[in-house]
A = this chain, B = another copy of it.
Amino acid sequence: MFFASDNSGPVHPNIMQRVMDANNGYAMPYGKDEIMDEVREGIQRTFEAPNAAVYLVATGTAANSIALACYTQPWQTIFCAQYSHIEEDECNAPEFYAGGAKLTLIPTDDKMTPDALSAAIARRPTGNVHMAQAGPVSITQVTEFGSIYSLDELRALTSVAKSAGLPVHLDGARFANAAVALDCTAAEMTWKSGVDVVSFGGTKNGCMGVEAVVFFDEAKAWEFELRRKRGAHLFSKHRYLSAQMAGYLQDDLWRDMARSANAACARLAAGLKQNGAEMLHESQANMIFARFPRRVHQKLQAAGAKYYVLDGDVASGDGDALLAARLVCDWSMTDELINQFLSHF
């Protein structure tokens, strides 16, 4: 019963097979492998962007930080939601890669609103040398709380950025989960909605460790290559990154896996509600934030269930005391495990 994170599950067998298939004789290193050509075309087709520049790195933090650095000067600030991954979970990697730039947190419980974004940008007027200058806007889709921006919401945010002349980055560590939930195309969720660069996540959705960075403006290509190398993220045996992403794209496996993860999560959410748990955020993708009694928690722990407790006094003696927990499902989650989990309520 492993609901701690979607970065803890196994690699999909199709992807593992592609990695094994790639292990054949010699291949050109550093992204010049033939499988990378397949990946590039696959991404360009998937995103309906025949000129997109496409690169692979092995971690989501690398994808976000290096992509953002290409759009950020060291004297600028990146606008992002208060509890975004780049603020909370990347140990100053965005600041590091952007040479000491700042992050400006848009106050919110979850999703950024256009008004709040607009107000924050307005506080950084052009031409005031004393303050950090306005830099890119970074949007996380799916958010850290499992919510999803509708295409309209996305466009409302990118409009605010565009009218201030600011570029837009999409942190898509869970891009696939959002795309299937919205039932939209990769293009609709990115450049058709005003996104300039996207971190297209694979690791959390059945890959071993691979993320694609996709620039819709190919002018940033060479800078990204240099920043990736300087960050020590250019793989010599790159074919094993390529193979993962090739398998991920093949027959839209990325959508299939996300669909499985979201469906499992929906079943778990329904079961939790039926059992009286209180949902803290509406579960739209593959994450649940729910409150349930400490006594249930104790039974789940005893049974070996893994998940994060975010709030509440675990050590309390009161079995009725409510704890807030985060539960995540990946592509491999089974009905059996979900039922086993729910049986402890």
Contacts and interface: CB of A to CB of B under 8 A. Distances in A.
A231 interface: yes
A239 B7 CA distance: 11
Interface string A8-23: 1111000010011001
Contact of A88 (B16, B28, B62, B131): B131
Interface in A256-280: none
A162 interface: no
Interface stretch (A46-54, A93-101, A176-184): A93-101
Interface in A200-241: 203-204, 208-209, 225-227, 229-237, 240
A62 B16 contact: no
A29 B11 contact: no
A92 interface: yes
Given A95-B95, A232-B233, A130 B10 contact: no
A25 B10 contact: yes
11 contacts: A2-B26, A4-B26, A11-B237, A20-B20, A74-B92, A92-B101, A100-B100, A105-B105, A208-B237, A231-B231, A231-B232
B230 A96 contact: yes
Interface string A65-95: 1100000011111000000000011111101
B230 A91 contact: yes
A132 interface: yes
Interface residues of A, number: 71
A102 interface: yes
A138 interface: no
List the 7 closest A-B pairs by CB distance, nearest first. Answer: A7-B236, A2-B26, A62-B232, A61-B232, A95-B100, A91-B229, A75-B226
Interface of A: 2, 4-5, 7-11, 16, 19-20, 23-30, 57-62, 65-66, 73-77, 88-93, 95-103, 105, 129-133, 203-204, 208-209, 225-227, 229-237, 240, 306
Contacts of A232: 57, 59, 61-62, 65-66, 90, 93, 97, 231, 233
Contacts of A233: 59, 62, 232-233
A11 B23 contact: yes
Given A25-B10, A103-B102, A132 B92 contact: yes
A26 B8 CA distance: 5
A229 to B, nearest CB: 4
A310 to B, nearest CB: 12
Contact of A99 (B25, B61, B74): B74
Contacts of A237: 7-8, 11, 203, 208-209
Pick from A30, A91, A229, A306 the residue with the most CB of B within 10 Å. A91
Contacts of A208: 237, 240
A240 B130 contact: no
Pick from A23, A204, A227 the residue with the most CB of B within 10 Å. A23
A8 B28 contact: yes
